[in-house]
Structure 1
Amino acid sequence: MLDKCQGAQERWGGVSDIIDAWLEGRQVLISHFVALPSQSISHGLNERLSMFCDLLMDYLSSGHFEVYEQLLREGGESDDGSLEEAQQLFPLIQPTTDQALDFNDKYSSMKDPTVQQIREFAEQLSMLGESLENRFSLEDTMIELLHLTHSENTTS
């Protein structure tokens, strides 16, 4: 997941300050995500989990309320069908948002968990990882469709 994120930064780095900041936020989010399974309850899991959930909410908010809007604005400036194609991605992204919100609601303040809650947490974390990987792929497709098409149209 981290390698794909770095690849996205290499492909689209420097094309937009908003996209750069968002992709940097994605990389930070992923690095916190991959560190979670190695945390023990007695050695900072609650703090790390709370920080991860904060980063997750920031990433989702930034995507929905800044980056997506910019990409849609840019895509609307061309008549090549990329806007319509990108809009078809939103219903695919929404379930990943819902899953991340549910994870945040359930685990952002997990205090003194039981063994069963820890098992559920491990399962939910794994499912969230798969969901985030899917989301990142869809978002990368959206960037490719909208921003790069816009960039090509403005340079032609």
Structure 2
Amino acid sequence: MTETTSTHLHWVEALREERSALWSLYCQIAEMKPFSDAGQVRPMLSQFSQLLIDYVSLGHFGIYEHVLSDAKGASELLSYAGKIYPVYSNTTESAVTFSERYDDGRRNFKTDNLASDLSELGEHLAERMELEDRLCSMLLH
């Protein structure tokens, strides 16, 4: 295994671990519907929001930036990375917006729109994961 392949594998494994932890917590929160007890869901949302930001940061500033800086001569990989950037960036923005809305520090914490916001975020995360899977697959081959 070359040093470059080892580095790529490290990034991919780290991303997959973050993603697995995030998705597990997402499912736990989704199972709490209806979200009538803000006191019960709030700590989980705080933890989820922190993990969400860590995950999108690792993907956006870790994997994606790594691909752009280390894809020596891999024109197919660079082309794909450039093509998906607008969608990938949009999913990052969606995650940040969700995190800001449900951050534990908010005083007027309301769960009125949580179900629809969580559903919309889930769609964006699923889309992001598909893009990452393809990007990671190209990175490792």
TM-score w.r.t. structure 2 length?
Answer: 0.81
State the SS of the aligned residue for 1:89: helix
Cα distance in 2 between the residues matched to 1:105 and 1:43: 18
Query: Structure 2: where are the runs of 5+ without partners?
Result: 1-6
- Larger RCO: 1 or 2 (CA < 8 Å, sep 6+): 2
Give 1:15 deviation, angstroms: 6.0
C-alpha distance in structure 2 between counterparts of 1:80 and 1:64, whole Å: 20
Which consecutive residues of structure 1, in runs of 5 or more, have no partner in the other structure? Answer: 1-13, 150-156
Aligned twin of 1:9: none
Give the match for residue 116 of structure 2. 123
Asked if structure 2 preserves the Cα contact closer than 8 Å seen for 1:86 and 1:142, the reply is yes
* 1:36–1:45 contact (8 Å) kept in structure 2: yes
For residues 48-83 of structure 1, the C-alpha deviation after alignment (integer angstroms, 9 at most, x for no partner) is: 0000000000001111222212222342x1244331
Number of aligned residues? 131
Q: Which runs of 4+ in 1 moved over 3 A?
A: 110-113
Aligned match of 1:52? 48
> Using the alignment, how far apart are the partners of 2:131 and 2:66 within structure 1?
16
Query: Kindly, what percent of the aligned residue pairs are identical?
Result: 30
Q: How does 1:7-156 map to 2 (within 5 A)?
A: 16-39=9-32, 41=37, 44-75=40-71, 77-109=72-104, 113=109, 117-145=110-138, 147-149=139-141
TM-score after normalising by structure 1: 0.74
